[in-house]
Amino acid sequence: MPLLINQQLIENDPWQLLTDDEQALPSDGAVILPLARFEQARADGSILQLAPLVSGDDDINALLEQADALALVAIEIPAFTDGRGFSFARILRRAGFKGQIRAIGDVTRDRLAFLTRCGFDAFQIADDRYSDDILSALAEISVNYQGSADEPRPIYNR
């Protein structure tokens, strides 16, 4: 799956996504885990570099307390009609989270600019949805009136 980070196509991602609870944790490296398994691995004292994968059903407040210690938060976008991931990214950025926020799941070209405005800076895109012109989607909206995570000032203050 192609991965865009900070508007660059990344070939070698150091993060390994483990969504199956039966998959054993690797002995080293960086791992993205569903939130419950992430919390358990941290409680067990795992020496791996860990990142949570949150979905709309998860309580993001627990993450806000430990956000300073995280390098990455992956947010699942399960369907086009589910906007909770957008809200989670916005909440994280408003709370001061400076790390990477990665969109995983139903990530489509037509929503990349909106995801960026909410605070996402990385996108894992399915092979069948990726095209060479996908980066141009980030520049298609040239004027934004409201403030957002990528530009907090509304247009009348710029």
The predicted structure's pLDDT at residue 34:
94
* Residue whose pair of structure tokens reads 């989670």 in the numeric block: 88
Give the least confident one: 7-16, 91-100, 145-154.
145-154
Angle at CA of residue 62, ends 58 and 63, nearest 5°: 85
Neighbouring residues of 7: CB distance < 8 A, sequence distance ≥ 6: 135, 138
Query: Domains of the chain: which residue ranges?
Result: 3-20+28-157
In this prediction, residue 122 has a pLDDT band, given cuts at 50, 70 and 90, of: very high
pLDDT tens digits, one per residue of 16-71: 999 888 888 888 889 999 999 999 988 888 878 999 999 988 988 888 988 888 99
pLDDT over threshold 80, residue 143? no
Domain 3-20+28-157 class in CATH:
alpha beta
9-28 confidence digits (pLDDT tens): 898 999 999 988 888 888 88
The pTM (predicted TM-score) of the whole model is: 0.87
Half-sphere exposure of 121 (CA within 13 A, CB side): 14
